[in-house]
Amino acid sequence: MDINFIWQTVITFIFGVLALRLAGRKSLSQMTAAETIVMIAVGTILIEPLVGKELWKTFAAVIIVIATLYLLESAQIRWRFLERLFSGTSIVVIEHGQIKLDNLKKIRLTVHQLEMHLRQSSVAKIEEVEYATIEPNGQLGYTLKEAAQSVTKSDIEMIMKMLQTIEKQLGTAGRLRPYENSADNLAANDNKKQAAAQDTLFREVEESSTKKL
């Protein structure tokens, strides 16, 4: 096999990846019709010099491209700068509920498109977002503010534990209530006895006064 053909395939593949990186970080489902046509055209133009040869060379080109992709992915795992070069990094587009317009311009994303991504993720207000990023694959990643986050299973378990603790405390207070009620009853009985004694005293005074008259 011609060694020049192998190098041409590898170089063409690397050039194609870099060209698609320059074209933007949008997944196929997010591309417009024009962007989709451009991507297909770039792929066709890049592969045309390779597939226009003998059949076995066409198969060899496919194998070389797949092998190059495998080696490139392995290299990205080992060397971080290659990952930034070929795959890119996440771009922060919302921070503390505020849109970072400069970063939106870098990835050529409009505010309306960002709001569309948020609505598709069931986020109603930008102010509810603590952080939002556009990932290298074009998808939106976000973290809601604590007040806007939905309740998780761990939150429910924590609330249940708190309720159980409160219930135990209330149960202890409930056991104290009979004693409190008994004290109240004793005080009420004392008051009744004092009132009865006063009534008896008044009657005796009245009777003695009547007898003297």
- Domain identity same for 67 and 95: no
- Domain identity same for 53 and 81: yes
- Domain range for residue 202? 153-213
Contacts of 85 (CB under 8 A, 6+ apart): 18
pTM above 0.85, yes or no: no
What is the CB-side half-sphere exposure of residue 89 using CA atoms within 13 A?
Answer: 8
- Domain identity same for 167 and 194: yes
pLDDT for the residue 163 = 84
- Domain identity same for 165 and 137: no
Q: Mean pLDDT score of the chain, rounded to an integer? A: 74
142, with CB counted inside 10 A (0-12, 13-18, 19+), is middle
- Domain identity same for 7 and 25: yes
* 134 backbone dihedrals φ, ψ, rounded to 5°: -100, 115
- Domain identity same for 122 and 97: yes
- Domain identity same for 35 and 82: yes
The pLDDT of residue 125 is above 70: yes
Q: What is the domain count for the chain?
A: 3
Domain with residue 128: its CATH number is: 3.30.240.20
- pLDDT mean over 13-26: 70
